[in-house]
Structure formats: structure tokens, C-alpha cells
Structure 1
Amino acid sequence: MNHIFDWFFSEYQNVPTYIVVLEITAVFFGLLSAWFSKQDNILIYPTGILSTSIFVYLLAVYGLLGDLVINAYYFIMSIYGWYFWTRKVDEEHFTPITRTTSKEKQIAVMIFIGTLNFIFIIYQIFDKWNSWTAYVDTLTTAIFFVAMWLLARKKLENWTLLLIGNIISFPLYFYKGLIFTSFQFLLLIVIAIFGYYAWKKNLNKPEKSLLN
């Protein structure tokens, strides 16, 4: 057991303390945001914005360009989602949880393909095709871009894509040396499963409160 702990903390041996503290803080608020998402609670967005802001800085320090782009996009989608979730469909009710329409599925495919092309161009410009992880990053970025857009629009299917992205990201971040972040994705896998079933129970139900 001691060998496991020694290995775990050796990954942070040459990392400044403030970077480790920031990563733990970002992970904490990221998990909190995911939990609020499962609960269909508007607090998903202030906690998510705080988490992604910290991650953007950390990923810039680590030089993980694809992951940085993902979190910058999360930040933008959090602002959009905050607006969309608080819209009222009538005098008493907020936007409910719904399934993705045919038109939204078409838009989702366009976002996925557009993201793949965008990340490919960015990696070409900055010469980031130096590891197999770059190719996996491109795929997960496209998956998460679509998932976050669906989440912002309160679509049930966002959980399916988040589950796929989290499953891929758990070992990927472990390999990259961001151990705390890797375990965040492990917990996010569990939250995504429960989140799907929690949202499915409230599908198309009118919402009077965003602080469940």
C-alpha cells in the first residue's frame, strides 16, 4: 500500500504546491458542479465556472492545449446554460428537461465534426501531434463539446455523451500525470450514470424551482 501512495505522490514531487492546491480546488468544484447537474440545480453553473476557470490556467501551465480549449468552451457554455436554464416557458415554470429533437441531433453532429476540424487545425498550428494522446484528446474534445451544448439546453442525452467522455478521460488523465483530475473523472462516471436516471424521471416535467 505504501508503494502505491509513494507512486501517487511522486507524480507531484516536482510540482509547485500552489499548482497542486489549485488542481484539488478545481476538482472539488468540478465534482460539486456535476452533482448539482444531477440534481437539476442551477448552482451547476457558478461552481462549474469557478472550476473551469482554474483548469484553464492549470492546463496552460501544463501545456495541454486540447484540454485547455475544452475548459474554455465549458466556461462559455456555462454562461449560455445559466441563461437558458433560467428562461421561463410561462409565468411560473422554467425550461424543463427534454429529449433531443431531430434538428438538435443534426446540430450536434455539426458541432462534433466542426470540433474535430477545429482541434485538428489548432494542433497543426501549434505542432501538437507529438503523442498518441493528441488523437484521443481530439475525440474527447468533440464528445464533450456536444455534451456540454446538450447539457446547457437541458437535454437528457447529454449524460450518455458525458459518460463516454468520462470513461475515456479517466485513464487518459492518469497517463498525463494529473492524478487528482483522473480520479475526478472516475467519480464523474458514477455521477453520469445516476444523473441520466435522475433526469429521466423528471423528463418533460414543469419546473417551478431551479434550486432542488
Structure 2
Amino acid sequence: MVEWLNQSLRLAQFATTPLEILGFLTGVLCVYLNTRQNVWGWFFGIINAVLYGAVFWQVKLYADMGLQGYYFFTSIYGWWMWLYGGKNGRELAVSRTPTALYGLFALIFGLSTLLWGYLLSRYTDASLSYADSALTVASLIGQWMMARKYLENWLVWIVADLCYVGMYLYKDLQLTALLYAVFLVLAAMGYFRWKRDVPALRPKPF
């Protein structure tokens, strides 16, 4: 890693590094563009995944570090899906999450959190193994739902982002905690923006 990216500095009251600042900016751009269903959000998601992979490796949040690899590949997948994943290879439209998926999501969340948390606590020096794992698995699910343009992905992100703010404050990643507070607001905005594009949920004209 280029040394200047890891130089300690203060931004207002936040202790941070240029690497974390770049992660902050690309993260905000990514999520903001996603709320507007702009495919360029996935481009900034790819860059953000690389930057935050390095940030989380340095503070031993290994589950979050691994999550960035998943973000990298699902950003490519999401970019393609949004452009060509709809009917007849057209742009993908916003839809409700199929009810049958919720049970599968719950099973994946519970089992993966327990297994990943155990492995991290048993075989690594990871910090907050189970909390980090739970939020990582929730993010895996939320990211896949976003790539499929399921409306409820934003509800998953609202809960996850709220918990992430607390975890990053605890780990003294103050700027990243602020980033996830911004993500929390953007997730709420995204939910209401996308909700307008679900045909069954559009307000009926008088």
C-alpha cells in the first residue's frame, strides 16, 4: 500500500487517513447513485470495495474485509443485471422480494453468522467476531437483493447501517461510522424512491 494513503491526519474532529477518506467519498457516491437507479453507482462500488478491503484488514475486521471481495464481484454482477437483467435483455425493473426467499435468507443468516463467527474467533485474532459476522452476512444478503433490484434491500441496509455505526465507533473508525450514518439516511431515501417504481405500490390517481 502506498505510504501516504495510511498517514494519520485529522479531518475536523475525526482521526482518519487518506485511504479512509477515499473510501468515504466513493462509498457515498456509490449508494447515492444506487438510490437513483444509476448504474454508475456500481462502478464506484468496485473502487470502494478495494479501498475498504485495505482499511478493514488494518483494523482486523476480517469478516468485513472478506465482504469487500464479495462487493467487488457483486458490483460487476449488479451493473450487468441493472442494464440487461430485465425481460428480453432490457433494463431491470424494481420489484418486491419474493416471499419464498425470506425463509432462505433467515436460514443463511443464522447458520452463516454462527459458523463464520466461530471460525474467526477460533482461528484468527479478529475483533468482534460474531457481531462482525452477523453484519457481514446481512450485507451479503442486502447486496444481492440490491443487484436484483428488490425493494426491500433498503430495509436490510437500514438495520445493518445502524448497527455498523455503533461497531465502527467502537473500533475508532470515526469517519467510517459517519459514512454509515450517511448510508443510513441514503437507505431510507432509496426505499421511498424505489417504492414509487413498484407498480403495485404506486399511489392510485383520483
Q: Report deviation, 1:108.
A: 2.3
Q: Say whether residues 1:148 and 2:143 are aligned partners.
A: yes
CA separation of 1:117/1:135 partners in 2, compared to 1, >3 Å: closer, same or farther? closer
The Cα shift of 1:109 comes to: 2.8
> Mean Cα displacement is larger for which, 44-53 or 85-94?
85-94
Deviation at 1:125, TM superposition (A): 4.7
Distance 1:74 1:115 in 2: 17
Q: Does 1:116 align with 2:113?
A: yes
Residue identity opposite 1:202 in structure 2: D
> Is residue 191 of structure 1 aligned with residue 186 of structure 2?
yes
1:8 aligns with 13
Question: Offset at 1:31?
Answer: 0.6
Alpha-carbon distance between aligned partners in 1 of 2:79 and 2:111, rounded to the nearest angstrom: 24
1:189/1:8 CA distance change after superposition, 3 Å: same
Partner of 2:3: none
C-alpha deviation, 1:86, in angstroms: 1.6
Say if 1:88 and 1:79 are closer, same or farther in 2 by CA, change over 3 A. Answer: closer
% identity of equivalent residues: 25
Residues 1:67 and 2:69 are matched in the alignment: no
RMSD: 2.3
CA contact (8 A) 1:115 1:141 kept: no
With over 3 angstroms needed to count, the CA separation of the structure-2 counterparts of 1:80 and 1:125, relative to structure 1, is farther
Cα distance change on mapping 1:97 and 1:64 into 2, 3 Å: same
**What does residue 171 of structure 1 align with?**
166
Residue 55 of structure 2 aligns to which amino acid in structure 1?
L
Contact 2:164 2:177 in 1 (8 A): yes
SS of 2:95's equivalent in the other structure is coil
Structure 2 residue runs of 5 or longer lacking an equivalent are 1-9, 201-206
Moved over 3 A (4+): 5-9, 88-93
Equivalenced residue count is 191
CA-CA distance at 1:68 after TM superposition: 0.5
- 1:32-91 deviations in whole A, cap 9, x for unaligned? 000011001101110000011111112112222121022222112112211211215346
Q: What is the alpha-carbon distance in structure 2 between the residues aligned to residue 21 and residue 79 of structure 1?
A: 25
Correspondences of 1:123-162 after superposition (within 5 Å)? 123-128=120-125, 133-162=128-157
Deviates more, 1:31-40 or 1:56-65: 56-65
Instruction: Give the alignment's TM-score, normalised by structure 2.
Output: 0.83
Assess, with a 3 A threshold, how the Cα gap between structure 1 residues 134 and 92 changes in structure 2: closer, same or farther. Answer: closer
Q: Normalising to structure 1: TM-score of the pair?
A: 0.80
